[in-house]
């Protein structure tokens, strides 16, 4: 059974940093690309970032480019999102998601909540 478990969310003041983690199990992690997708309170889904199986390629939404960095450690079956210069509009539930091919997501974690507020 595929499991994706996010952690690292919390309440942080604007301008500060936070690092999210996602522990993956139930599939061969280093065979698949991964994504971070977020959902603001009462809002729709917003793709944040993606990374290929071997970290050879990464991509970001314009809204986070230059502030967020996606990475992975295949030896630890883990995905990360380093978030710097956080803004109020980054407040959201952040989902870790498994790619099944060019941006199609077949499994989602339960999400970790990030609140950016003073």
Partner 1 sequence: QSALTQPPSVSGSPGQSVTISCTGTSSDVGSYSRVCWYQQPPGTVPKLMIYDVSHRPSGVPDRFSGSKSGNTASLTISGLQAEDEADYYCSSYTSSGTVVFGGGTKLTVL
Give contact residues for partner 1 (rule: CB under 8 A): 35, 37, 44-47, 50, 57, 59-63, 95, 100-106, 108-111
> What are the Cα distances from residue 39, in Å, to 27, 36, 56, 73?
25, 10, 27, 25
CB 9 within 8 A of CB 80: no
Q: Which residue's CB is nearer to partner 1, number 32 or number 60?
A: 60
Shortest Å distance, C-beta 6 to partner 1: 11
Nearer to partner 1, 7 or 57 (CB): 57
Question: Minimal distance in Å, beta carbon 98 to partner 1?
Answer: 10
Give the residue from 112, 117, 114 showing the smallest Cα distance to 23.
Answer: 112
CB of 102 to partner 1, least distance (A): 4
């Amino acid at each position: 059974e595929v499991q994706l478990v996010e952690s690292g969310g919390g309440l942080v003041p604007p301008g500060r940093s936070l690092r999210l983690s996602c522990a993956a199990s139930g599939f061969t992690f280093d065979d698949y690309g991964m994504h971070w997708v977020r959902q603001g309170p009462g809002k729709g889904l917003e793709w944040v970032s993606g990374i290929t199986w071997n970290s050879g390629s990464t991509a970001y939404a314009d809204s986070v480019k230059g502030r967020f960095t996606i990475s992975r450690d295949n030896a630890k079956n883990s995905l990360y999102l380093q978030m710097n210069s956080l803004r109020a509009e980054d407040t959201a539930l952040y989902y870790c998601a498994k790619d099944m091919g060019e941006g199609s997501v077949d499994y989602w974690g339960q999400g970790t909540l990030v609140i950016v507020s003073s």
